Structure 1
Amino acid sequence: MISNLFKRHSGVLGHGSNNAPADQENGTAIDDASPPPYDVAVAELAEKREKDMTFKEARKADKRLIWYSLGFSGTIIMEGYGLALITYLFSFAVFKRRYGEVVAVTGSEAGTAGDQAGEYDIPYQWRVFLPLVAQFGSLIGILIASPLATRVGYRQAMLYMLALTSAFVFIPFFATSVQMLMVGFLFQGIPWGVFQVISPAYASEVASLQLRPILTTWNNLCWVIGQFLASGITKAFEGGGEGDMTYRIPFAFQWVFSSILIVAVACAPESPYWYLQKGRIEEARRAVNRLVRKSSDQRTTEKLALMRHTIHQEKKQNDALVAATPVKQAGTWSAWFGKFEMACFKGVDRRRTETASMAWLVQATCGSSLIPWAPKLFEAAGLAATDALSINIALPAAGIFGTLASWWLMRKAGRRQIYLWGLLAMGILLAACGSFHYLPSGGGWAAGGTLILYTAVYDLTIGPVCYSVVSELPSIRLRTPTLAIARGCYLIAGVMNHVLTPKMLGQEEGSWNWGARAGFIYAALCAIGALYTYFRIPETAGMSARELDILFQNKVSARKFSSEQAIALTPVDEKARFEIEHVSPRTSMRTITPPPTK
């Protein structure tokens, strides 16, 4: 059945769609001599209106797409909850007795911990390996996300993965050994990887300029909500008895989340950009009509024209590159997985892939890995296990506050500014956290308070803004594969964090026992990230996809990205015979004229 669905939705990876019109918006080259197959004036007017809209006007005009996008992004809750639950359960007494081993703990140490199950603990190798296999599963999900979404669409891909998520929860729920937990987390990670790619891609494609910052950063809030739910649920069931259900019920909550999300995603339309790249114009029109305000035919026409205009411009800009690239035989592994991923490393898309990947890599290495391991850090700094879990609840609460505040901040400052200053502020806080290790007393509480403040700053700046930046940097044509590559870099860094962080914070034999001093390492990484941000990550706030195409095509410095710069530049070099944009000083409306004949 799945193979039949793949056949029914295929057509992008070199096969073409039987429904494709003459404009060939399904990915093949466009004849430069042919006029655009849509009203360019309407598209230009739509872009101007989106720029001139206030947030209130955009919210009113695109009310329905907000709810649809929130439903798609809600799948990130599953990942945030699942990953946080794994590490939080390591401090869960019943869980340690069920899956852990007896360790030698002196009476004084046990009394200090105040934990009657202190003689049990999860071995270090499993504390590292269980979150690690979930990340490996996510890497598999990222590998299949782009070709799957390209073939069956964002909506169908999400529904498939949500169904698999519900099925895979049975494994950890009924696990009788730590090995079964490992298998369950591996399989659960596969849908999580797909969610990481498709959620920000869908939000970026359907959102208008004014709504784009909120809908893309909502992904980070969903991650924080997942962590908050995991923290609260594990705390609620910590003293719920000695039976296995006290730790199995937190796993069962994932069935509730996935059921709600299946309904939300099933009610949402497919991304119009996906239909347009298939050449299915009427279906794209119906999808746009569902996204905008009811009975707003003019808004539908304008939004569709702008989408077609963006795709048409990208196709013409990449025509020379596509024509020079040999077409691989359809049906091979390389054609199914590799065509679009390889295109991400060619021409101007190489820079877009690099900056998107590094933006996510900076997010992964700025110390955010300390947040899910916070209970262990607090214990290493001298807090009792129960106090560590109690103060840990404040971290996702601070994250929610920070993400909500970021929506206001992103309307006042650019993405690049927030990224740069956020890294500098977090570096200072992490250095302060490390210095509290040397306090004669109270260092645990001081480190805990600093980490709460760090979490608020992280979720005010780098955490949410990263989702917005990496969603806006790729071209429309290569958005999902670029996001897949970028998120893959993030997960590789995450694998390193999962190996090194418990080693830094662990107190058993063989660990480094750094405790709060781990903050010094991440403070240095924040400084390196800030340096890269200054020179390489461009400003994307308030710019349409078409304007970003122009700026990247002309190799503008990251420090000079702006809408004014995009208007002043031609889309591409005249040698490629691409369109040249002119601005009418009288009407401020942009018109397209063919390049001069040589």
Structure 2
Amino acid sequence: MTFRNAIKADKHLIWYSLGFSGTIIMEGYGFALITYLFSFPVFNKKYGEFDDVKQDYELRYIWKALLPLVAQFGSLIGVFLCSFLVSKFGYKWATMLMLVLLAATICVTFFAETVQMLSVGFLLQGIPWGVFQVASPGYASEIASLQLRPILTTWTNLCWVIGQLMASAIVKGFQKYPGDLSFRIPFALQWVFIVLLMINVFLAPESPYWHLQKKKGTNQANDARKAIKKIVRKGDPQKVEAKLALMQHAIHQERKKQAPDAPGFKGKLGRFVGMFMGVDARRTEIACMAWLIQSMCGSSIIPWAPKLFEGAGLDPSQALSVNIALPAAGILGTLGSWGLMRKWGHRAIYFWGLLVMALLLTGCGLASLAPDSIAGWAAGGILAAFTLVYDLTIGPVCYSIVSEMPSIRRRAQTLSAARGTYLLAGLINHFLTPKMVGSDGDSWNWGPKTGFLYAGICAISAVYTFYRIPETNEISTRELDILFQHKVKSREFCSQRAKDLDEVERREEEAEEMRRSDSTGSAALQPKNA
């Protein structure tokens, strides 16, 4: 099937997946709102203190670091809760539950009178954000057809960027609104998004893979069949049965070849520990490292861009204006990545993206050597280009790579571990980034020089990508299982190699079956007293 035909035929599938991915808009919007408001004069006056260096109100460094930090910590809790919630309730109802929780916790930030109350609100909001981070790419990967899988998994990144753009535009629009409502209304607008997302998620089917892995005696096949009927083109009964059979075969083969759960551990804990053993250990390592690279490649500068621009010489209003260009560049980059992935694949984009970003971050650092009158605008232009490249390569492609790495049986656990790695790195970023780009008395005041540090990290990550991250584009779930089971080198992953290995394996099984049959037949011909 061509890509264009797949889009026309799978409209319902696309709509369902976008509903789950849309929850990432909530995370991108809410998280960006935290840091964008630090350049908001009314917000700083409400929750900050008078700074003798700047001769203006400024939120203390400890709270600039702590507010994003507690949100990340809440997300970390949500990430590890997600494995249990998805296994118990499925992707659909786990997401619905977290949307209700998010609506309730927004009340805390909306009515907060102190910065301490704000921190509690962001901590609680982080929990559903963490669940969304795992459930969204996991669901997209399980229901998507092979042609649409790169689009639906990378759409998650676009949703994150859309959230950032909305936060940037809304903060800019309410910057001069009088009183506390200028920063409370941006919090309240999240309730509108939640209602729309709940309607879409409620109408979506559960993942058929989740139904097929429920306990025996729970009508697995029938429930999966109903879900598949809502996913396949026009609910064609023949296609429903074919897809169901393929899913059952993939799960059966995976269980037959996969290492058992860790000895001494039972149930979900056994699955969680088991993903670090045997063939799954490599898949878990790659998923964790891919998300770690995305976190440490300099992307943490983007939410703090207004402060970096201020450190380079722009006033707060100019900084917020330039900042709007960053998520806009991100949207263009993500849309462009869809065509790029079809031509280049995932691995090449990841590798070359890191190298180009290393060069741009070096340029950002060199911008600090320019006169103050142009340093801010130069850094802004380079960061806009960096954001474009990031969202053309590492940003969206990471979601596709990570969601395709885990085995079916341990998908939720592996994605939880990978996203947990990302968030742990995020905790470090959110502690150090405001220190590096800040311009108040408590900061290091590196400004654009921060680019030098992240340029080095990008170069190291490119080396890892070359040797360890395999190609996954246009390789089916079953084919990926075969390649990992045969320990194929990352640089040699391709669909044809999987087919060749599968054919060899099938012939060996047939030969073994024939030898077994011959042996049984010979034994039957022997006299009883022989």
What TM-score, normalized to structure 2? 0.94
Residues 126-525 of structure 1: matches in 2 within 5 Å?
A: 126-241=63-178, 243-278=179-214, 279=216, 280-318=220-258, 321-322=260-261, 325-326=263-264, 328=266, 335=267, 338-440=269-371, 441-525=373-457
Change (3 A) 1:560 1:234: same
Question: Does the 8 Å contact 1:165/1:191 carry over to 2?
Answer: yes
- How far the C-alpha of 1:568 sits from its partner, in A, is 1.7
**CA deviation profile, 1:553-574 (whole Å, cap 9, x unmatched):** 0111000001111112149xxx
Question: Does the 8 Å contact 1:60/1:293 carry over to 2?
Answer: no
5+ long unaligned stretches in structure 2: 517-530
Q: What is the aligned-residue RMSD (CA, Å)? A: 1.7
In 1: Cα distance, 2:199 partner to 2:356 partner: 40
Change (3 A) 1:557 1:422: same
Q: In the comparison of the two structures, how many residue pairs are matched?
A: 511
Change (3 A) 1:325 1:234: same
**CA deviation profile, 1:318-349 (whole Å, cap 9, x unmatched):** 2x634x83453xxxxxx55x222101101000
Change (3 A) 1:92 1:594: farther
Which residue identity lines up with residue 321 of structure 1 in the other structure? P
2:522 maps to what in 1?
A: none
1:74 maps to what in 2?
A: 22
Question: Does the 8 Å contact 1:550/1:570 carry over to 2?
Answer: yes
1:87 aligns with 2:27: no
Question: Does the 8 Å contact 2:72/2:423 carry over to 1?
Answer: yes
1:54 aligns with 2:2: yes
In 2: Cα distance, 1:230 partner to 1:515 partner: 23
In 2: Cα distance, 1:415 partner to 1:350 partner: 21
In 2: Cα distance, 1:581 partner to 1:78 partner: 47
- How far the C-alpha of 1:506 sits from its partner, in A, is 1.6
Which residue identity lines up with residue 10 of structure 2 in the other structure? D
Structure with the largest fraction of helix: 2
1:533 aligns with 2:465: yes
1:43 maps to what in 2?
A: none
Which residue identity lines up with residue 61 of structure 1 in the other structure? A
1:100 aligns with 2:48: yes
5+ long unaligned stretches in structure 1: 1-52, 110-117, 329-334, 572-578, 584-590
Change (3 A) 1:250 1:151: same
Which residue identity lines up with residue 206 of structure 2 in the other structure? E
In 2: Cα distance, 1:364 partner to 1:392 partner: 20
In 2: Cα distance, 1:344 partner to 1:382 partner: 49
In 2: Cα distance, 1:458 partner to 1:592 partner: 48
In 2: Cα distance, 1:298 partner to 1:538 partner: 34
- How far the C-alpha of 1:308 sits from its partner, in A, is 1.1
Q: Percent of pairs identical after alignment?
A: 60
In 2: Cα distance, 1:289 partner to 1:469 partner: 27
- How far the C-alpha of 1:292 sits from its partner, in A, is 1.7
- How far the C-alpha of 1:464 sits from its partner, in A, is 0.2
Which residue identity lines up with residue 393 of structure 1 in the other structure? I
In 2: Cα distance, 1:596 partner to 1:365 partner: 54
Question: Does the 8 Å contact 1:402/1:459 carry over to 2?
Answer: yes
Which residue identity lines up with residue 239 of structure 1 in the other structure? K
- How far the C-alpha of 1:593 sits from its partner, in A, is 8.1
In 2: Cα distance, 1:54 partner to 1:299 partner: 17
**CA deviation profile, 1:134-154 (whole Å, cap 9, x unmatched):** 000000001110011001111
- How far the C-alpha of 1:510 sits from its partner, in A, is 3.5
Question: Does the 8 Å contact 2:171/2:183 carry over to 1?
Answer: yes
**Stretch of structure 1 that moved more, 222-231 or 54-63:** 54-63
